[in-house]
Structure formats: structure tokens, C-alpha cells
Amino acid sequence: MGFLARRDVLLTVLLFLLALPAQHFEWFALLEDQANSFRHQMRIAYGDQKDLSISKDVVLVNVDEPFFKAYGSYPLRRTDIGAIISNIKELGAKVVAVDMLMDFPSSYNEDPTLAAALKDAGNTILVAQGQFEHGKFVKLNYPTKLLDEASVSGYTNISSNSALLTVLSRLKIHPDITKERHGWPFAVQAVAMYLGQQPKLENNVLSFGDLKVPLDHGNHLYIDFPPLPSGTRFLSQSAGISALEFLDISQLDEAEKEELGYWVKDKIVVVGDTSEVSHDWFDTPVGMVYGVEIIADTISSILKGAPLRAAGTPLAAAVTSVLMMLMILLAVAFSRPVFRAVGAVLILGGFVVAVTAVYVHAGLVLPLSYALAAGILSYVLIEYRAYMVERNQKKQISKTFGQYIPAELVKEMNESGQEVSVGGESREMTVLFSDVRGFTTISEGLSPQDLTTLMNAFLSPMTRVIQANRGTIDKYMGDAIMAFWGAPLRDENHAEHAVRAALAMGKTMDELSESFIARGWKPLKIGVGLNTGVMSVGNMGSDFRLAYTVMGDAVNLGSRLESLTKQYGIFTQISEYTLAQVPGLIAREVDLVKVKGKDQPVRTFEPLGFDGDVDQQTLDILARYTAALALYRAARFSEAKAEFQALSELEPNRMLYKIYIDRIAHYEAEPPPADWDGSYTAKEK
């Protein structure tokens, strides 16, 4: 009863039961088309190249770009089409199939000449088109009356399985159209003429005498698109010859005719337009393919007896049912998420590999996307049910321990199952401080209610940015925020995540400024300081109140760096220790500074962005600034001053240049000692 009462199991059964009619009636043909495209690429890459190659009984004669360049005009005149047909027939072709729509009379009265050529050649096929409205057949549009009387025709327009995207991968035989005059598809008509057998359609089997071609339950023939030789993109490049060769063969001697006849003798010759101007190309499982090539591939697939064959409905249903049972077994057999994840990968991945393998090597087309989608959704449901069970357990833990320890530690206890002691531990981490500049002045102009609204509007998005970058909020101190990375959960990339959070906070502040101005508030400006180092982290406080926080010299340095951002006129300042742990970060060195209470100077930097994010102009200015700073540190003050002044003209609003210009003026009046290390002692916290 417990097993049957599990909703994830019941929903899994329901999903797979829905997959059965979905795959039979092709409710989501687009997904299956994409799955077939993937499998066919695998078939081309790993199947037997000899067996997959196009039938030797089919050849393409291309009216291509080189043809029209030599021909000198467009389109091809019908008298010349007749000449090409006559010459191909003279060279021994068994069937000449012309994939050129001619449903309007020639403007130059060329139809009589072409009709005569068609009658003389015999065994020719012209293009007709099936007219459909709302998916239902209306009528066939034949070639012009004169041409229609001179040749057999077949319709070429085949439709996509999906209503969203046009992907041509199958030929559908419409039983109702076969009752019309010349009511067979163009490729079927060509094969029938080649074999000298009238086609028949019975019980999803297309037959030409002894040749039996199985179709799927919807009378579809899967087109087995062949692999192409390396370096070629289109079939016409490897299994085709230019129509220019057949335009005029009167000047050829017998040996030359015999050599040219080798291409077409006793074959089905498909004549078609493969020029770019024709736009006669379509999306297929192997990419964009010219329409005449699809016809040739279809003829080849028929002559080979349909190398790709759809699995019968019972077999398809059985495969889907087996997958369903495996997913149910996964749901009830494994309680640990990692085992379920590995099991799902093995089951679903094995299913994909298996149905792909039989497609590649046996030509058996089993439905893939429907059962796979049901399997993936089932796994999601199974995990969701497990998550809900686990969440209820976590709620119980939170209810029991939440009033004694911070929510962050409760979360860590839930995830790791480890107990957290009151004492701290030393870890290398990154700390962030941010503070609103001039907050006292801003707050004096607001009522308590407006001030509360403003702070919520500021702190909420800042908190979201920090947490989105895996940071932990330590505390809010009025308008200030303290956060850290690397605890309670360890984070090997804590410095990078902290820097990315700081950069994102800058972008968020720009967005907030616009909304603040719109609400009649002054835009806020903040400073952000980051430092990386060994800190004490833990549950600290008293017997009355505990807080999970960080302490230590590294924390204090982070606070000092935030305070100095206003002095330098920058948004964010990080220490050299943070920069060393963030590969790919581009930063402007700000200063070599001795912060309040420290004797050793620290290099500080302003992060600009990561590789690829910073424009070239900024990089060029940064290089000039770095060179100027090096001159300053080397006490070459006159040269450094000239560089900083030039930079200040480029960026007059950057306070940093003016700071160094003022310092240089001071040192020019009072030179630093001989052992000066280039550092500056901050006089403020």
C-alpha cells in the first residue's frame, strides 16, 4: 500500500502511459525530429560507410552555379531542357526524372519542343505538386497540358512532421492521392519506372513486384541520408555531374560519348537545380540539403528496401514500458540522492545509447524523445518527492535548534549532518565591508518611515547579490553590510566569488540610483572593501546571545580598505592578498598603503573586471597608469607627474590621478627619505 501511495511512483506510471499515445500519434514531432537528427549523425559517423552510401543506380545532373555562369542567362530555357533530356537518354539513361516545376506555359512557346523531346526519350518524369489545405489533400497541380501529355509526373512536396520547424526526414505515401492520375510521389514514380513495376500500397508496405519497402504505421518512409566524402557539403558534389556536360554532345566522338555515358547508362538520372538562386533547399537531419538531393536520397532508400525502418507499435510500447519499470525501481530502491542520480544517468543514458546503437547499426527506428522526456520528468518528480521529505526533516531540525544557533549553521547541519561547536576555527576566507557615504546627511532629510523604506530598498538587492555569489551575510550595521566567503561551507574560490559580488554590487547600485531618483530620493553612493586571509570563524558571543561571525587582523584590514575608498574616489578596493587568489581579474593598483594601526604597507587594487570584460581603451589607459605609478615609486617625480597630468586630461573625473599629482608636488618640495619604499601612511581608519 505504501508503494502504491507514493505520488512520484503514480506520476511516473502516468507519464509513461501518456508517452505511449504521444509517440504513436507524434504529438511532439519536433523533439523526435531533433532526436533523429542526432542519431542520424551518429549513423553517418559510425555506421558502415559502404552500406550507407547512395545507390549506384542513382545519379544527379546539376544545373548549378558553374552551369549558369557558362550558360550566360537565367532561367534555363525549356528547349535546352529538352536537349539535356534527349542527350542523357541517348547516352543510355534508363529513367530521366526532371525536378523542375513547369506548371505554366513557356513565354517563348518552347513547350512543343520540350514535349517532343520528352516523347522521344520515353521513361521521363516531370514534377507535379500536391495542394493541401489545413493538412487535407485538395488536388494535384500537374505540368502544363502539353508537357503533361508527353510525360508521367509525380508530386515532390513532402511536409515536415512538426508544425514549428520544417525538417524533412520522411516521405509520406498518401493512400487517397495514389488514386489520382500520376498520384504517386516523384521518387516512387521514378523507382516504378526504373523497375518496370507498378507501385502498390497495402498494410503499410510499399511494393514494386518483388521489392517490398516497409513503412511505419502512418505510411512514412524514413529517408536514409548517406554520408558524404570528406570535403564535400552536398550530395551533388560527389554523386552528381553538371548539366553543362549534356547540353550539347554533338561535337563529342564515340570515345568521349562512352566516357560521359558511364555516368548515366542504365541509371535513374535526376535532373535538378542546385544553384543558390533557386533557394530549393530544406532542413534535414544532416543539415541544409537541395530538394533534388532529397529526391535522390529517397530513390536510393526505396531501391535499398528502406534501410531505416520504424519499429512496430508493440515493440515501441514494450521498450517504453521497460524504461518505466526501471525508473520505478530507481525511485523505490535508492534512498541516497547520489545513488539515484547515478542510477538515472545509467538508465536514461543507457536507453539513449541502446536506441541510438540499433538505429546506427540495424536501421531500427525506436521512439526516443517521448520515453526519454517521460524518464527525465519522472526523475525530477522522484527527486522532488525526496526533497519534500528531506525538507520536512530539516524543518524539524530548525524548529528544534533554530532558537539556539544561527540559521546558517542549521543549514550546514542539515546538509552535512555534522554538529557545530560554539568555539571557532581558523580558516582562510574573504571578508567584505560596504558602507553608504554621507548616510547621516541623507537620513536627516527623511522621516523614519521613509528612511526604513529606503534602507530596505537598498539592503535587499545588495543582499541578493551577495547571496547569489555564495556569500554569507554576517550582519547589518545600520547602513553598512558585513559579509564573508568560505564559511559556514568551505569554498575554494571564496576570493573570486567575493570580487564578483563586489562588481555586481556596483552594477546594482547604478540601477538603484535611477529608481531612487524617480522616487524623489538622493542616489546612494557606497564604498566596498575586500580582504583575504586567515580569520577566526565560529559561533561567538555570550551565554545570552550567540552570533556566527569572523574576527582577526584580516577582517580589520578589510574594514580599513572600505573606509579608504572615499579618499581614493573609487567604489571597490581589494587587497593584494585577494587579487593573488583571483586569476583573470584585471585591476588597477591604487596604492601601497600603511593602514591605521599597521606598520607593514599593503598593496591595494581597484577591480575593473575579468579577462574579456574590459574594453581595449581602458586597458590602454591602465597600462599608462601602471607605468606612471612605477615612475612615482622610483622617485622619478617629474616624469611621473607629466604622465599623471596627461592621464588626468583623459579622465578628468578620476580622483586617483589628482592624488598622485598632489603627492608628487609634496615630495618635490620635501623629498622622501633615501630608503622610501613608495608607500603612503593613511591618517584615517
Query: Could you tell me the CATH number of the domain that includes residue 464?
Result: 3.30.70.1230
Same domain membership, residue 624 and residue 547? no
pTM of the complete model beyond 0.85: no
- Residue with the bigger pLDDT between 443 and 381: it is 381
Instruction: List residues bridging with 137 in a β-sheet.
Output: 132
Residue 43 in domain = no
Buried b or exposed e, range 41-74, using 16+ CB within 10 angstroms: bbbbeebeeeebebbebbbbbbbbeebbeebeee
Is a pLDDT exceeding 70 seen at residue 575? yes
Same domain membership, residue 627 and residue 609? no
pLDDT digits (tens, 9 = 90+) for 284-314: 888 889 999 999 999 999 999 999 999 988 9
Structure confidence at residue 1 (pLDDT) = 40
Closest C-alpha among 82, 71, 91 to residue 115:
82
Residue 35 in domain = no
Structure confidence at residue 20 (pLDDT) = 86
- Find where cell 591604487 sits: 590
Structure confidence at residue 397 (pLDDT) = 46
The mean pLDDT of 323-350, rounded to a whole number, is 84
Residue 31 in domain = no
Closest C-alpha among 596, 589, 670 to residue 623:
589
Phi, psi torsion values for 103, nearest 5 degrees:
-95, 5
Residue 646 in domain = yes
Structure confidence at residue 604 (pLDDT) = 97
Same domain membership, residue 434 and residue 359? no
Same domain membership, residue 221 and residue 122? yes
Which range has highest mean pLDDT (157-171, 198-212, 316-330, 335-349)? 198-212
Residue 25 in domain = no
Closest C-alpha among 501, 502, 471 to residue 488:
471
Residue 40 in domain = no
Same domain membership, residue 339 and residue 385? yes
Buried b or exposed e, range 139-173, using 16+ CB within 10 angstroms: ebebbbebbbebbbbbbbbbebbbeeeebbbbbeb
Same domain membership, residue 499 and residue 459? yes
Residue 239 in domain = yes
- ω into residue 488 within 30 of 0, thus cis? yes
Residue 339: CB atoms within 10 Å: 12
Judge whether 428 and 478 are in contact, CB under 8 Å. Answer: no
Distance of CA 21 to the CA centre of its chain: 30
Structure confidence at residue 473 (pLDDT) = 87
Between CA 640 and CA 625 the distance in angstroms is: 9
Same domain membership, residue 322 and residue 271? no
Going 434 to 438 to 439 to 440, the CA torsion angle's sign is positive
Same domain membership, residue 514 and residue 439? yes
The mean pLDDT of 507-520, rounded to a whole number, is 86
Structure confidence at residue 395 (pLDDT) = 67
> Which of 243-252, 333-342, 362-371 bottoms out in mean pLDDT, i.e. has the lowest?
333-342
Query: Where does a domain end: 375, 399, 423?
Result: 399
Judge whether 174 and 185 are in contact, CB under 8 Å. Answer: no
Structure confidence at residue 160 (pLDDT) = 62
Quote the number of domains for the chain. Answer: 4
Judge whether 368 and 352 are in contact, CB under 8 Å. Answer: yes
Structure confidence at residue 277 (pLDDT) = 83
Same domain membership, residue 627 and residue 571? no
Which residue intervals of 486-615 are DSSP H helices?
494-518, 553-568, 576-579
The mean pLDDT of 370-388, rounded to a whole number, is 86
Between CA 479 and CA 484 the distance in angstroms is: 17
Mean pLDDT of the chain: 88
- Domain of residue 545: give its range: 407-614
pLDDT tier at 394, thresholds 50, 70, 90: low
Same domain membership, residue 288 and residue 222? yes
Do you know the residue count of the chain?
685
Structure confidence at residue 203 (pLDDT) = 94
Same domain membership, residue 435 and residue 339? no
Distance of CA 451 to the CA centre of its chain: 45
Query: Where does a domain end: 591, 614, 637?
Result: 614
Query: Where does a domain end: 251, 284, 307?
Result: 307
Same domain membership, residue 360 and residue 245? no
Residue 28 in domain = no
Name the helix (H) or strand (E) containing 475.
Answer: strand 472-477
Closest C-alpha among 669, 680, 599, 675 to residue 641:
669
